[in-house]
A and B are shown apart, each in its own frame.
Chain A
Amino acid sequence: MTTAESAVRYHDGTAVVDLPAQIDSTAEQALNDAYAAAAAHGSKTVLLNFAGVDFLSSTGIALIVGILARARKDGRKITASGLSAHYKEIFEITRLADFMTIFADENAALKGEGPK
């Protein structure tokens, strides 16, 4: 089984996680490591950047749900950006949008500009 990688960048109090192209069971380690890195850095907000994602399975949704659950317990905020129309639809079906603010892109998220 191949494993994916997530890059984590930091802007003030926000950790930007560039998600791997494929979010399924192969991304578990990458997502957990990225969240752990953001937590260790003391980031108050974790921005999940979906710009490079082209495959998201229900297992991937479950992984994101796991990150949301951890963040909620830790008092950390999760936001998302770079969602294509297709992934916005998926967030609508799964109602993930109930748990996180969605921004049009990374810049808007970092500036805290109106959710899209």
Chain B
Amino acid sequence: MTRDDSNWAKPVKTLESSDRDGAINANVHGRRLNAANGGFGRLFQKTFSVRIGPDVTPQAVIATWKTRFGEFWPKGQRMFLPATGIAPGEVGIINASIPGTPTMATGVLVIYADDVSFSFMTPVGHPFAGPLTFSAHAGEDGVTVAQVQELTRASDPFWELAMMVPVLGERMQNDIWRSTLANLARDLGAADATVTSKIVIVDSRRQWRNAKNIWQNAAIRSGLSAPLRIIRRG
């Protein structure tokens, strides 16, 4: 047994998600995880960082972030976690609203968590395929820095096109983490919540063999099932 054993989730073939109060639990249960190579679009490596300050430890940043993860997201994005919170093997249900469209339901699996970092993997149908890592560390000048790192592709042609739409694409794929980090920094008392971004295209080729992922697209499926949900609520 290695020192990190309890920090990692056990491998799963498909995700299991239970209903949570107020959440649309769809497009998660029974879905397999999707890695970056299982996605469709260009492969991006992205790092978003914000300086929190010298008086807040990396452990304090991650403790706050884990406990109140969804609170730091931009308006309209909601994360429903089980009572155990962000812990290895737990599934978070995401309900995301884009004005004028039905709420999109998807989720994430927490694959890793310790006191200075945690990571998610996304299921097929989620806008992005690949791992997302959230961490905090002391920079060279002793200032604690919070970070989001990802190596992701858009899951399917629908999401790849959406990401290329001016404003909407930027909002969907990058502003969510810029807003999250700025909100986190402000909450922790940072004097300057400016978020820096480094975005690199690692592979500009589309993976056409994964275009079929569109059948699992969480937004399309959420849209198609919206009338049924309304009827059920009656």
Complex Cα gap A72–B202 (Å): 7
- When A69-B151, A69-B200 are in contact, do A59 and B3 touch as well, CB less than 8 Å? no
0/1 interface trace, chain B 129-152, chain A, CB 8 Å (1 if under): 001010101100000000001010
Q: Which residues of A contact B35 (CB under 8 A)?
A: 94-95, 98
Determine how close the nearest CB of chain A comes to the CB of B2; give it in whole angstroms.
5
Complex Cα gap A84–B112 (Å): 18
> Chain A: residues with CB nearer than 8 A to chain B?
1, 24-25, 54-59, 61-62, 65-66, 68-69, 72-73, 84, 86-87, 89-90, 92-95, 98-99
Complex Cα gap A1–B202 (Å): 30
Q: Which residues of B contact A84 (CB under 8 A)?
A: 2
Interface of A is mostly: helix
Give the contacting residue for B137; candidates A25, A68, A92; CB below 8 A: A25
0/1 interface trace, chain B 189-204, chain A, CB 8 Å (1 if under): 0000000000010110
Complex Cα gap A90–B2 (Å): 12
Q: Which residues of B contact A72 (CB under 8 A)?
A: 202-203
| B45 near A58: Cβ-Cβ < 8 Å | no
| B2 near A55: Cβ-Cβ < 8 Å | yes
